[in-house]
Amino acid sequence: MFDPDNPPIHALLDATGLYCPEPVMLLHNKVRDLVPGGVLKVIASDPSTRRDIPKFCLFLGHELLEQQERDGAYLFWIRKKIE
List, for residues 12-59, the tens digit of each pLDDT value: 999 999 999 999 999 999 999 999 999 999 999 999 999 999 999 999
pTM of the shown model: 0.91
Q: Which pLDDT belongs to residue 2?
A: 65
Element (H, E) at 64: strand 63-70
End-to-end CA distance of the chain: 22
CB of 17 within 8 A of CB of 45? yes
Annotated active-site positions, please? 20
Q: Which pLDDT belongs to residue 83?
A: 79
**Average pLDDT for 73-83:** 94
Structural domain boundaries of the chain? 11-79
pLDDT band at 5 (very low <50, low <70, confident <90, very high): low
CATH number for the segment(s) 11-79: 3.30.110.40
